[in-house]
Chains A and B, each alone.
Chain A
Amino acid sequence: MLTHNSHTLREFDTALNNLHQSLMTIAYKAQSALDLAINGCLKNDENAINQVIADDEDLDELEKVIDEKSLHILAFFSPVATDLKLVLTSIRLSGMYERIGDECVGIAKRSKKLRNYPPLREILAIEPIYRDLATLFRQINKGISYWDVKSLEILLPKLQELSHKSQFLTRHLAELPEQHPDALLAISELIFIGRSLERITENLQRIVEEAMLVSIITES
């Protein structure tokens, strides 16, 4: 009798599920870091900013945990085919989520500095980019939680579009110093925040492309 989704060796399933849980934990923590960082920036919320910086250690630690769990699976269960792809993809995705976390820390730290300057109306320009990014981030994480390649595939054009928008935002922010020579330092922080959003979009694109290499759909 064929059972497509569970291994004969129950420990192997347990180890793979465990790895996937850790991957989803780092994924949702990165998603949460983005929400907190942008909220901190837009609403001038110091608690949110501090939490992003503090939570980054968890993301770093989770990346190591995923590496260790993956190594354990490679050493003890010698995975092949889809199982091997799942393990290798988990290792790579965890690194990408961790980098998203680092970008969020960058946003948080710059938001903290922005608090030292008079409020900039231009800060609102990042909100629509963030809204699209947050929506896509949730859809990506949901797709990865089920390894649903088809649902991930349809997100790629949207990410491409968002990537163009975020590049446009960075260019727009880069033109501001000419208009506001008195707020050079604050604007430079804002430019770097825009650049971080751009890099987060790029990382999400890579995450989707990487996850699509797991070519079969498995049940969670």
Chain B
Amino acid sequence: MFTNDLQLMSDSNIPTPSISIEVDSVDFHYGDKQSLYQVSMQIPKNQITAFIGPSGCGKSTLLRCINRMNDRIPNARVTSGAIRIDGVDVTSPTLDPIILRREVGMVFQKSNPFPMSIHENVAYGLRLAGVKDKRLINQTVEESLTHAALWDEVKDRLHTSAYGLSGGQQQRLCIARSIAVKPKILLMDEPCSALDPIATVKIEELMHRLKEEFTIVCVTHNMQQATRVSDLTGFFMLGKLVEFSSTEKMFSNPDCQETEDYITGRIS
């Protein structure tokens, strides 16, 4: 479906099998203000990549470029470069962002369940995509909730309001909702920042399991979380990608002094 759409639109880009997202010399502006400067990175498939950096460094901006969430902001645009998913430039204005977002799910900082039942929350994306087969919907809801490690906790109250769930459960519900439409990529913008340590651990365990099926890109302010969950880490500062390497390397022996200063808490 979507991949074919993308591939049809792709003419010269050759997909690299192990690379899921290729960010190629991206500049980004909010109006006159430039927020990203020549950012380039290759995000591998089925790995967790963390973006870290001080507030305002551009990590969430880049994350939101991947599924074109920034399109909703007036005058916000990629001004040069490309972001390719499976070789297709997703910044192309000819690409329908709705189709893109079926392939690139997103989980936000604050859980945002819809004002409807748990079941309807997960089924929402499928219904939007035109799926009408109730058996298929029910099966997908169960699969998604199971994947999100929530099924056992909610299976007896699927038709009650999602607002009745705890914060951690709501966040896992949002993950279930995102994966129900079977995206390839899952973007997570500080998914645990509003959660207690136990709920955080559950989300982190979930991320480890989900990476077998999805490519995960996660923005986090929590250094320990980055070391616990991610395979690769990108450190951003003032709109520039300062360093991008394996998480182990970055947190034990970073190449750049700025990275060292940031991760050791020496930036004031």
Task: Mark each residue of chain B from 228 to 268: 1 if its CB lies under 8 Å from any CB of chain A, else 0.
Answer: 00000000000000000000000111100110110111111
Give the interface size class of chain A.
10 to 19
B268 touches A3 (CB 8 A): yes
A8 touches B254 (CB 8 A): no
Q: Write the chain A residue with the least CB distance to B258.
A: A2
B94 at the interface (CB under 8 A from A): no
A7 touches B265 (CB 8 A): yes
Give the interface size class of chain B.
10 to 19
User: For residue A216, which residues in chain B have a CB less than 8 angstroms away from its CB?
Assistant: 260
B4 at the interface (CB under 8 A from A): no
Complexed CA–CA distance, A7 and B264 (Å)? 7
Q: Write the chain B residue with the least CB distance to A5.
A: B266
Task: Mark each residue of chain A from 1 to 18: 1 if its CB lies under 8 Å from any CB of chain B, else 0.
Answer: 111111111001000000
Contact flag A8-B267 (CB < 8 Å), given A80-B223, A82-B260: yes
User: For residue B267, which residues in chain A have a CB less than 8 angstroms away from its CB?
Assistant: 2-3, 8
B12 at the interface (CB under 8 A from A): no
B253 touches A81 (CB 8 A): yes
Complexed CA–CA distance, A94 and B47 (Å)? 40
- Return the contact of A9 from the options B224, B251, B265 (Cβ within 8 A): B265
Complexed CA–CA distance, A78 and B252 (Å)? 12
B258 touches A80 (CB 8 A): no
B252 touches A81 (CB 8 A): yes
B10 at the interface (CB under 8 A from A): no
User: For residue B227, which residues in chain A have a CB less than 8 angstroms away from its CB?
Assistant: 80
Cβ of B40 to closest chain A Cβ, rounded Å = 23
User: For residue A78, which residues in chain B have a CB less than 8 angstroms away from its CB?
Assistant: 223-224
User: For residue B254, which residues in chain A have a CB less than 8 angstroms away from its CB?
Assistant: 81
Cβ of B247 to closest chain A Cβ, rounded Å = 10
A79 at the interface (CB under 8 A from B): yes
The CB with the most chain B CB atoms within 10 A, among A1, A5, A81, A84, is that of A81
A8 touches B253 (CB 8 A): no
Complexed CA–CA distance, A9 and B266 (Å)? 8
The A interface, classified by DSSP as helix, strand, loop or mixed, is: loop
Contact flag A4-B263 (CB < 8 Å), given A78-B223, A80-B223, A80-B227: no
Cβ of B224 to closest chain A Cβ, rounded Å = 6
A35 at the interface (CB under 8 A from B): no
B263 touches A80 (CB 8 A): yes
User: For residue B268, which residues in chain A have a CB less than 8 angstroms away from its CB?
Assistant: 1, 3, 6, 8
Complexed CA–CA distance, A8 and B222 (Å)? 15
A215 at the interface (CB under 8 A from B): yes
- Return the contact of B261 from the options A4, A12, A79, A84 (Cβ within 8 A): A4
A58 at the interface (CB under 8 A from B): no
User: For residue B261, which residues in chain A have a CB less than 8 angstroms away from its CB?
Assistant: 2-4
Complexed CA–CA distance, A64 and B266 (Å)? 28
User: For residue A215, which residues in chain B have a CB less than 8 angstroms away from its CB?
Assistant: 253
A45 at the interface (CB under 8 A from B): no
User: For residue B258, which residues in chain A have a CB less than 8 angstroms away from its CB?
Assistant: 2
Cβ of A63 to closest chain B Cβ, rounded Å = 25
Complexed CA–CA distance, A4 and B262 (Å)? 10
B251 touches A81 (CB 8 A): yes
Cβ of B53 to closest chain A Cβ, rounded Å = 14
B-contacting residues, A187-220, CB 8 Å: 215-216
Q: Write the chain A residue with the least CB distance to B227.
A: A80
B266 touches A84 (CB 8 A): no
Complexed CA–CA distance, A5 and B265 (Å)? 10
A4 touches B266 (CB 8 A): yes
A153 at the interface (CB under 8 A from B): no
Complexed CA–CA distance, A123 and B200 (Å)? 67
Q: Write the chain A residue with the least CB distance to B223.
A: A80
B266 touches A7 (CB 8 A): yes
A83 at the interface (CB under 8 A from B): yes
Complexed CA–CA distance, A114 and B257 (Å)? 55
B266 touches A3 (CB 8 A): yes
Complexed CA–CA distance, A84 and B252 (Å)? 8
B266 touches A6 (CB 8 A): yes
Cβ of A158 to closest chain B Cβ, rounded Å = 28
A-contacting residues, B56-83, CB 8 Å: none
Sample 5 A-B pairs with CB under 8 A, ordered by A number.
A2-B258, A4-B261, A80-B223, A81-B253, A81-B260
Residues of B within 8 A of A (CB): 223-224, 227, 251-254, 257-258, 260-261, 263-268
Given contacts A8-B265, A80-B227, A81-B251, 6 further A-B contacts (CB under 8 A): A2-B258, A8-B268, A80-B251, A80-B264, A81-B254, A82-B260
